[in-house]
C-alpha cells in the first residue's frame, strides 16, 4: 500500500509540472474556434482579403489549427469558475457639478445633447445586484432622465425633431423653478431605413469570461442579428492579445452564419483595444458607401491593457475616424474592473452613443425597443443654446450634461463636435432657475461667488448691455438649436421662445416623472443643490406620473428608488 501511494505521488507531481509547462501560444491568435480558422474557406465571406489583415496573425503563412482557444492562462484577469468581481471604486471619473450662474453676468448657456443611457443601467446594477450605492461620479443625471420615453409630439415634416418646453415650481426648493426642454427625433419607417454596414468589435480578452460579460454579449448581439435583413452587411472583429477578422461583410439574412461566428468566440488573453478599434474602423471604411448607415459597435468591459490605451490616445484615434461618416456605439459589460469613465469619453468622441448592458432585458431594450433610434442617426452635432431674459430669470443652472457643456462661441462653430439624435430618440434637459421676482438673501452658490458683490445698479447696467434678444414682456428665454444632416458638414439653425404660456403650476406627466428621476440623481450624487430632496418625494411624484408603463421600466425605477433608500443610511 505504501508503494502504491509513492507511485501515485510521483505521477501527480509529473502531471502538475507538465501542466505548468504548457505553452500559452493560443493567446497570440484570434479568439475563435477551428470552424472559423483562416484556413477554412467556409468560415468567412468570400470578400475577405487576407492581405489586408495578415499582419495580425503573427505567422502569415499559418492557416492551420489555432489550438485550444479556451485557454485563459496568463491573463491575470479571470479564472473560470470564479464569480464576477465586486465593482472597483477606483474605476470612476471626477465628480463635476454645474453651478448656478447669475444671468446679469452671463445670460447664455450652451451644451451638446446626449442620448446615452449607460449611467442608469449601471446604477441599477449597483443597487439591485450588488446592493450598494453607485460611485457619485458614475451618476450622470442626463443619462438617467433620457433612459425613459416621454410623450413628445412628432416633428413637423420638414424638421428633424420637435421641441417641447415647460416650466413649473421646483419640488425641492421653494424659491426656484424647473424648466424642461424635450426634443423628439423624426421616426424612420422600418421599410424605408437605409441599409446598415455594421462592424461588431468584440473584446475577447480573458477578463470577458464571466457570465455577465462575453456570454451576455453573445445574447445581445444575437438579438440585433435577428433584426437585420438582406440589405444589411455584418463584419466581426475581435481583439485580445491580438486582433482578428472573423467575418467580413456577410449579408444580414445569413443569420446562422453570423450567429455561429458569435457562438464560437471565447475569452482569452490580454486586451489590445487600440488595435481592435483601428482594425474595425478600417473594415467599416472598406465596406462604406454613401447609402449605408455605417457603424462600429464596440462591446467591452473597458479594461484595455496592451498597446496605446490611455483615454487621450483612444480619443485621438476615434476623433480621427469619426469624420469618415462612420458612427460609433459602445456597449459596456461587467463590473469589477469596468471603466465607465473611459467608455463615456470614447462614445462622446465618436459621434456615438453609449449603453451599459447588465441583463438580457436591457439588451432587448437597446436592440429591439430602441433599435431605430440607437442605430440610425437623423441629426448629428446637435447643440442647444439657451439665452435667458435677465428681466425674467435672475439665476440658472443646467442640471446634468456636465461633460457636454460648450463654450458659447462653439455654438456657431461647425468644426465643434456635439451629440447625435437617432430616429425617434427623445432628448430631455432641465434647468433650475430663480426668477428675477424671487431673488432673496439666501442665494445658492454660484460660479461668481468669489467675485466682488454686485449691487442693483450694476445689475441694471449689465442687463442693458447684454440683452441682444428682443424679448417681449412675457418671454423667459429663447432656445436656439444647431444641427447637421447625417451626411452634411454645414449646420442648420432653428429656435423657439418660452413664454408665460409654458408655465404650469402643476407638472405634466412628462415633467413629473422626469423631475423625479432628476431628484433621485441628485440624491445619489449627494448634490449640494439637492436642498429638500428626499426618496419619499421621488417615489410619490414618480408613482403619480407613472403613466402607461408598457415595458415596466418606470415600475422598475420605483423598485430601484426603494432599494436605494434602504442602502442610503
The reply to whether 402 falls in a domain is yes
Calpha distance 482→434 (Å, rounded): 27
In a domain, 125, yes or no: yes
Q: Other CB atoms closer than 10 Å to residue 270's CB: what's the count?
A: 22
486 vs 337, residue with greater confidence: 486
pLDDT, average across residues 295-315: 83
Determine the structural domain holding residue 230 and report its residue range. Answer: 194-365
Residue 32, pLDDT > 60, answer no
Residue ending a domain, among 365, 400, 418, is 365
CA distance 522 to 520: 5
CATH, residue 120: 2.60.40.1230
Q: Chain-wide mean pLDDT for the chain? A: 82
Name the more confident of 268 and 56.
268
Domain count, the chain: 2
CATH number, residue 288: 3.40.50.410
Task: Specify if 113 maps to a domain.
Answer: yes
Structure pTM?
0.82
Same domain flag for 275 and 351: yes
Question: Is 57 part of any domain?
Answer: no
Which range is least confidently modeled, 168-182, 345-359, 362-376, 465-479? 465-479
User: CB–CB of 303/204 below 8 Å?
Assistant: no
Element (H, E) at 553: helix 553-567
Last residue of a domain, one of 336, 365, 394: 365
- Domain check: are 501 and 405 in the same one? yes
Q: Output the CA–CA distances (angstroms, integers) from residue 1 to 5, 8, 10, 11, 176, in the order listed.
A: 7, 11, 15, 15, 87
Phi-psi map region of 568: left, alpha, beta (phi>0 left; psi -120 to 50 alpha): beta
- The pLDDT-based confidence of 522 (bands split at 50, 70, 90) is very high
> How far apart (Å, rounded) are the C-alpha atoms in residues 359 and 30?
27
As a whole number of angstroms, the distance between CA 246 and CA 52 comes to 13
Give the pLDDT mean for 522-538. Answer: 97
Same domain, residue pair 151 and 267: no
pLDDT score for 93: 54
> Is position 308 within any domain?
yes
336 and 419 housed in the same domain = no
Whether the Cβ atoms of residue 459 and residue 104 lie closer than 8 Å to each other: yes
Whether residue 299 is contained in a domain is answered as yes
CB 297 within 8 A of CB 284: no
Collapsing DSSP to helix, strand or coil, 207 comes out as: helix
Indicate if 395 and 260 belong to the same structural domain: no
Distance between CA atoms of 569 and 566, rounded to whole angstroms? 7
Q: Are strands 293-300 and 377-388 parallel, antiparallel or unpaired?
A: unpaired
Do 330 and 343 meet the contact criterion of CB atoms below 8 Å apart? yes
Distance of alpha carbon 266 from alpha carbon 246, whole angstroms? 12
With b for 16 or more beta-carbon neighbours within 10 A and e for fewer, the 73-100 pattern comes to bebebbeeeeebeebeeebbbeeebbeb
Which cell numbers hold the place of 339? 471603466
Residues 221 and 122 both lie in one domain: no
Mean pLDDT of 161-184: 97
Q: Are strands 233-239 and 243-251 parallel, antiparallel or unpaired?
A: antiparallel
| Cα angle: 248, vertex 253, 258; to 5 degrees | 45
The answer on 277 and 178 residing in a single domain is no
Same domain assignment for residues 294 and 315: yes
Residue 106 grid cell:
452671463
Print the SS3 string covering 498-540: EEHHHECCCCCHHHHHHHHHHHHHHHHHCCCCCCCCCHHHHHH
Q: What tens digit of pLDDT does each residue of 432-443 get?
A: 999 998 655 467
* C-alpha cell, 163: 421641441
Question: Are 374 and 196 a contacting pair, CB within 8 Å?
Answer: no
Instruction: Return the number of other C-beta atoms located less than 10 Å from residue 9's C-beta.
Output: 10
Instruction: Examine the domain organization and report whether 176 and 236 are in the same domain.
Output: no
Would you state the pLDDT for residue 442? 65
Range in 49-63, 201-215, 366-380, 525-539 with the lowest mean pLDDT: 49-63
pLDDT in tens, 202-238: 999 999 999 999 999 999 999 999 999 999 999 999 9
> Mapping DSSP to helix (H, G, I), strand (E, B) and coil, where does residue 350 land?
coil
- 317 domain-assigned: yes
Identify the weakest region by mean pLDDT among 30-39, 152-161, 165-174, 281-290: 30-39
| Alpha helices in 136-208, H assignment, sequence order | 141-145
Residues 202 and 184 in one domain: no
How far are the Cα atoms of 58, 65, 242 from residue 30, in angstroms, in the given order? Answer: 10, 11, 6
> Which stretches of 226-364 are DSSP H helices?
255-263, 273-286, 311-322, 340-349, 360-364
Say whether both 181 and 219 belong to one domain: no
Give the end of a domain, one of 365, 398, 416. 365
Residue 207 lies inside a defined structural domain of this protein: yes
Cell digits for 36?
472559423
Is 198 found in the same domain as 177? Answer: no
Amino acid at each position: 500500500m505504501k508503494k502504491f501511494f509513492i507511485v501515485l505521488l510521483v505521477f501527480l507531481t509529473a502531471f502538475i509540472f507538465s501542466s505548468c509547462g504548457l505553452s500559452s501560444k493560443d493567446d497570440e491568435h484570434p479568439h475563435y474556434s477551428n470552424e472559423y480558422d483562416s484556413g477554412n474557406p467556409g468560415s468567412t465571406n468570400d470578400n475577405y482579403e487576407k492581405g489586408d489583415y495578415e499582419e495580425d496573425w503573427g505567422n502569415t503563412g499559418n492557416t492551420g489549427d489555432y489550438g485550444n482557444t479556451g485557454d485563459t492562462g496568463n491573463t491575470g484577469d479571470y479564472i473560470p469558475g470564479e464569480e464576477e468581481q465586486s465593482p472597483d471604486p477606483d474605476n470612476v471619473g471626477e465628480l463635476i457639478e454645474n453651478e448656478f450662474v447669475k444671468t446679469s453676468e452671463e445670460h447664455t448657456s450652451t451644451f451638446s445633447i446626449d442620448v446615452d443611457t449607460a449611467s442608469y443601467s449601471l446604477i441599477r446594477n449597483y443597487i439591485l445586484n450588488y446592493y450598494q450605492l453607485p460611485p457619485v461620479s458614475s451618476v450622470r443625471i442626463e443619462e438617467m432622465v433620457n433612459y425613459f420615453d416621454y410623450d413628445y409630439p412628432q416633428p413637423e415634416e420638414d424638421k428633424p425633431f420637435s421641441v417641447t418646453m415647460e416650466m413649473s415650481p421646483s419640488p425641492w426648493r421653494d424659491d426656484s423653478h424647473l424648466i424642461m426642454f424635450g426634443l423628439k427625433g423624426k421616426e424612420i419607417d422600418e421599410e424605408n431605413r437605409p441599409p446598415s454596414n455594421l462592424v461588431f468589435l468584440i473584446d475577447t480578452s480573458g477578463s470577458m469570461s464571466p457570465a455577465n460579460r462575453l456570454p451576455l454579449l453573445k445574447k445581445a448581439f444575437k438579438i440585433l442579428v435577428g433584426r437585420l435583413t438582406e440589405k444589411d452587411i455584418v463584419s466581426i472583429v475581435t481583439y485580445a492579445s491580438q486582433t482578428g477578422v472573423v467575418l467580413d461583410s456577410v449579408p444580414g439574412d445569413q443569420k446562422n452564419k453570423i450567429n455561429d461566428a458569435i457562438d464560437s468566440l471565447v475569452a482569452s488573453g490580454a486586451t489590445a483595444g487600440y488595435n481592435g478599434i483601428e482594425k474595425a474602423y478600417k473594415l467599416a471604411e472598406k465596406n462604406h458607401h454613401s447609402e449605408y448607415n455605417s457603424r462600429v459597435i464596440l462591446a467591452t468591459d473597458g479594461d484595455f491593457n496592451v498597446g496605446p490605451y490611455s483615454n487621450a490616445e483612444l480619443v485621438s484615434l476615434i476623433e480621427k475616424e469619426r469624420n469618415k461618416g462612420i458612427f460609433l456605439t459602445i456597449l459596456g459589460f461587467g463590473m469589477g474592473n469596468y471603466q465607465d469613465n473611459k467608455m463615456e469619453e470614447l462614445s462622446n468622441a465618436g459621434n456615438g452613443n453609449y449603453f451599459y448592458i447588465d441583463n438580457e432585458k436591457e439588451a432587448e431594450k437597446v436592440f429591439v425597443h430602441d433599435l431605430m433610434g440607437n442605430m440610425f442617426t437623423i441629426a448629428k452635432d446637435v447643440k442647444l443654446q439657451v439665452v435667458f431674459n435677465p428681466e425674467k430669470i435672475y439665476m440658472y443652472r443646467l442640471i446634468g450634461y456636465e461633460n457636454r457643456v460648450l463654450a458659447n462661441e462653439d455654438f456657431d462653430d461647425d468644426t465643434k463636435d456635439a451629440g447625435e439624435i437617432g430616429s425617434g430618440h427623445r432628448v430631455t434637459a432641465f434647468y433650475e432657475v430663480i426668477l428675477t421676482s424671487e431673488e432673496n438673501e439666501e442665494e445658492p452658490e454660484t460660479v461668481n461667488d468669489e467675485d466682488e458683490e454686485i449691487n442693483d445698479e450694476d445689475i441694471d447696467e449689465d442687463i442693458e448691455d447684454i440683452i441682444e434678444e428682443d424679448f417681449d414682456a412675457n418671454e423667459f428665454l429663447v432656445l436656439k438649436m444647431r444641427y447637421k444632416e447625417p451626411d452634411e458638414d454645414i449646420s442648420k439653425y432653428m429656435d423657439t421662445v418660452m413664454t408665460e404660456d409654458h408655465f404650469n403650476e402643476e407638472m405634466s406627466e412628462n415633467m413629473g416623472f422626469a423631475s423625479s428621476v432628476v431628484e433621485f440623481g441628485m440624491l445619489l450624487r449627494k448634490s449640494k443643490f439637492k436642498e429638500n430632496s428626499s426618496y419619499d418625494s421621488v417615489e410619490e411624484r414618480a408613482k403619480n406620473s407613472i403613466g402607461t408603463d408598457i415595458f415596466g421600466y418606470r415600475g422598475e425605477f420605483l423598485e430601484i428608488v426603494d432599494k436605494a433608500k434602504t442602502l442610503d443610511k
